[in-house]
Chain A
């Protein structure tokens, strides 16, 4: 099982509003991922946890005060809370718009300038390593 039913997605968005609320500069998860594309990718990446997530969301769906229920889950059942939080944060911070807003380029190819290491070996920081007085222990 690697997908969530629509009702579960709605609850997850409500939980996301509690855990990672929208601000003046940061969007809510439901607005940043309206088609659920990134949530689907998170569910594929952690397909092993999707059944546990669905169970947790269905329990939360039945609560009258969701923010209080999420807070209680954090205190009383951290393992289940962590499953829910993994999907909320894992999805949110995968979204390109969010990454741009937080200044995270992702793990991508950024080869070093060819002279970067040589420059580092020519400055006063490296001089500190060269000035180190002790040596290896002969044996």
Chain B
């Protein structure tokens, strides 16, 4: 018999959301403003813009550890550790209100229409049970809610994608890179960012500090603690921080009944709910489903398909930094993305692989980053008198073309529970099994070769290539696949678990394929679609009694 205490004596809320990141924030706001009682349990805390290190002299040093996006480096109590010794990548995330949008680059990209039909078009991966057209209205609503800055008319998207705010300048880095793309005749476009180019809602205007990925000190980046939680709370949503869920509970009919969690004092408590929404990211949600196994679901909750935790996709990143012979103000934000390219996004099997990559230009930051470009040089070319030459020729004179690579869903790339590693509450930590496939390696190599050509066309005097960034990005996808067939998927097209009708999953874990664009726009659009479905169908929603 559980000894968990109810959070209050008799309270059963309409909706329990687990995780206060982007998708949890969207669902909380939508459900609360439609009159549903909402409780959200978040393992982390609120962050204040003033805490972020970007405008501090120590920014580069602080970003190495205290504000690293990698939980195993940050070692905060509010995060859980990841067992990564069986993984080619070290996934990024942060616990807290706003979740990983606190530290994301806010590169706000939609999937392309072809991403929803990969199997039909290319014979690999899967089709989604919904189309671009199905999701477009929700993309539009989210774009308006968070204030996306950009330029209408990108030819690689269907008409109708209209960023609500004017674009940021692409700056010297973007113009230099664009010049090379024009010479080659390759696609580029001023990149959309979830960073306000003018004051809107709770967001201030971007001041181009250029440190978006360590938190925006200005409050201009659309992190969901700013864009959605204040509204959700005004409409009555309760957000309980430093509360870590250890199990989703079920009733005798197998429906979700709530959750057991540890509060800030480590006391185990219980929250009852009519509907449970998992918004804990593509690793945290799989972890919770596996932790929530019970007698009638011994392999994990909602796991009759056996797919919970499998098909993990992480979008491996590589980059080539070009050094140029003119000042580029390479420290100026937003960062963020200046321009993007989808030239090599679509599958072309003549290249020897399937899938593609999205490219983006970013500024390169301060002097430590400039020096790091020469890490592979010998001592005498990097240190001693040479260090001043390296700074003079590199600092402020470089730009980075990064690639975000599509990876295919594979059952062997998976999240499981570690046998020994635990978080600060003693809950088993996730173990990441992730190997980059030969297809993805070819894809990355091809794209990085083209990126070097783009730099040379733009006039780079030197390029420095990183074939793989092991600690990028924080795109955590695929571990609770969306689909129509309960035998081959975990949730339906509305995000409701096939096995547990009142359990919704709204984070990146439901994505059947990864595409190659930054996923938060898609994650939040599908979360909003689920929330609107729950609101519209509440009368018929099966619930725990």
Q: Which listed residue (A45, A49, A99, A129) contacts B62, Cβ 8 A?
A: A45
Q: How far is the CB of A40 from chain B (nearest CB, A)?
A: 11
Q: A90-B61, A128-B182 are in contact. Are A110 and B207 (CB under 8 A)?
A: yes
In the assembled complex, which residues on chain B have CB atoms less than 8 Å from the CB atom of A122? none
Q: Which listed residue (B58, B153, B197, B365) contacts A45, Cβ 8 A?
A: B58
Q: Which of A102-139 contact B (CB under 8 A)?
A: 102-112, 116-118, 120-121, 125-126, 128-130, 132, 134-139
- The main secondary structure of chain B at its interface with chain A is loop
Interface residues of A (CB under 8 A from B): 18-21, 23, 26, 38, 41-42, 44-46, 48-49, 71, 74-75, 85-86, 89-90, 93-94, 96, 99, 102-112, 116-118, 120-121, 125-126, 128-130, 132, 134-139
A117 touches B197 (CB 8 A): yes
Q: Which listed residue (B114, B205, B385, B391) contacts A21, Cβ 8 A?
A: B385
Interface with A: B247-255, B267-275, B366-374, B398-406, which one?
Answer: B366-374
Q: How far is the CB of A99 from chain B (nearest CB, A)?
A: 8
A139 to B396, alpha carbons, bound, how many Å?
Answer: 42
In the assembled complex, which residues on chain A have CB atoms less than 8 Å from the CB atom of B368? 89-90, 93
A41 touches B112 (CB 8 A): no
Q: Does B512 contact A (CB under 8 A)?
A: no
Q: Which listed residue (B121, B167, B168, B392) contacts A102, Cβ 8 A?
A: B392
A133 to B249, alpha carbons, bound, how many Å?
Answer: 55
Give the size range of B's interface with the partner: 35 or more
Q: Which of B151-199 contact A (CB under 8 A)?
A: 151, 153, 155-158, 166-170, 175, 178-179, 181-182, 185, 187-190, 197
In the assembled complex, which residues on chain A have CB atoms less than 8 Å from the CB atom of B197? 112, 117
Q: A20-B387, A86-B61, A128-B178 are in contact. Are A108 and B55 (CB under 8 A)?
A: yes
Q: A19-B384, A132-B187 are in contact. Are A139 and B331 (CB under 8 A)?
A: no
B178 touches A135 (CB 8 A): no
A107 touches B54 (CB 8 A): yes
Q: Which of B17-67 contact A (CB under 8 A)?
A: 54-55, 57-62, 64-66
Q: How many A-B residue pairs have CB under 8 A?
A: 164
Q: A45-B62, A120-B169, A136-B156 are in contact. Are A93 and B367 (CB under 8 A)?
A: yes
In the assembled complex, which residues on chain B have CB atoms less than 8 Å from the CB atom of A44? 58
Interface residues of B (CB under 8 A from A): 54-55, 57-62, 64-66, 112-114, 116-117, 120-121, 131-132, 151, 153, 155-158, 166-170, 175, 178-179, 181-182, 185, 187-190, 197, 205-211, 218, 331-333, 346, 365-368, 371, 379, 383-385, 387-388, 391-392, 395-396
Q: How far is the CB of B210 from chain A (nearest CB, A)?
A: 5
Q: How far is the CB of B295 from chain A (nearest CB, A)?
A: 43
A120 to B392, alpha carbons, bound, how many Å?
Answer: 28
A87 to B157, alpha carbons, bound, how many Å?
Answer: 47
New contact pairs (10) apart from A19-B383, A86-B61, A90-B368, CB-CB < 8 Å: A18-B384, A103-B396, A107-B365, A112-B168, A120-B175, A120-B190, A125-B182, A132-B187, A135-B155, A139-B113
B367 touches A129 (CB 8 A): no
In the assembled complex, which residues on chain A have CB atoms less than 8 Å from the CB atom of B210? 107
Q: How far is the CB of A52 from chain B (nearest CB, A)?
A: 12
A110 touches B131 (CB 8 A): no
A61 to B57, alpha carbons, bound, how many Å?
Answer: 29
The 3 residue pairs across chains A and B that have the minimum distance between CB atoms = A128-B182, A45-B61, A109-B207
Q: Kindly name the residue among B120, B189, B205, B384 whose own CB sees the greatest number of chain A CB atoms within 10 A.
A: B384
A103 to B394, alpha carbons, bound, how many Å?
Answer: 12
Q: A20-B387, A109-B209, A110-B208 are in contact. Are A125 and B179 (CB under 8 A)?
A: yes
A49 to B112, alpha carbons, bound, how many Å?
Answer: 44
Q: Kindly name the residue among B57, B169, B368, B392 whose own CB sees the greatest number of chain A CB atoms within 10 A.
A: B57
A94 to B210, alpha carbons, bound, how many Å?
Answer: 17
A45 touches B66 (CB 8 A): yes
A48 to B76, alpha carbons, bound, how many Å?
Answer: 13
